[in-house]
Amino acid sequence: MNRSMRDLLQQPAAQIAPRLLGSVVTSRIGGHEVRLRLTEVEAYGGVDEDPGSHAFRRQTPRNASMFGPAGHAYVYFTYGMHWCLNVVTSPEGQASAVLLRAGQIVNGLPVARRRRGESVTDRDLARGPARLANSLGVTKDLDGVDLLDGSGPLSLLLADGPILAHASGPRTGVRGEGSVTPWRFFLEDEPTVSRYRRASP
């Protein structure tokens, strides 16, 4: 375990989210390795803090990992068909997580393409949170795994150096009071960044 990384991630999601841009996520699943560089993320806060968050009202079986140790994964199912991957932040017990929205595959392109479809372009392999999780082979089985110990099926390596130049704006698909919170962070002019969409009525 990298203690300094764990300590760094024990910050509120909105503070640490921009720091994750340029970081590398690696999956080693089924004997295959896929590695991607993060280009877009979204921050989500905790109980009574962030109306757009799964943890806004209380802890439930679905969001329990958001309340766990920093540096672990929070994986959830959405729209009845997709898995999404988050990095848990803040001290244990204070729900907070960063959704990994998009990235550039830098290793394991053939594996990611088999998972996503042979006709999918390199740009679109992990362009969007469900596509990103699918490219990495993420399922509910990985909910709660430690991303920092380096020996598990998923690992996170923070980018070296200062925070990369980036832009921010409202989060995609968030309804109600949390819809205008500018906690979506992305690298500008990066083709793998997903398209912003307002929430459907």
Task: Give the pLDDT confidence of 63-117 residue by residue, as tens digits.
Answer: 999 999 999 999 999 877 799 999 999 999 999 999 999 999 999 999 999 999 9
Which residue matches tokens 């199912």? 77
CATH superfamily of 3-186: Methylpurine-DNA glycosylase (MPG) (3.10.300.10)
Instruction: Locate 5 and state its tokens.
Output: 């990384």
Domain residue spans of the chain: 3-186
What is the model's pTM?
0.94
Bridge partners, residue 41, by sequence: 100, 185
Mode of pairing for the β-strands spanning 24-29 and 32-44: antiparallel
Q: Residue 2: its pLDDT value, please?
A: 56
- Cα gap 72→117, rounded to integer Å: 29
Mode of pairing for the β-strands spanning 82-88 and 97-107: antiparallel
DSSP 23: -
Task: Give the pLDDT confidence of 29-56 residue by residue, as tens digits.
Answer: 999 999 999 999 999 999 999 999 999 9
- Cα gap 142→136, rounded to integer Å: 11
> What is the mean pLDDT of the segment spanning 135-148?
97
Directed axis angle between helix 109-116 and helix 129-136, to 10°?
120
Looking at every residue in the chain, the average pLDDT score rounds to 94
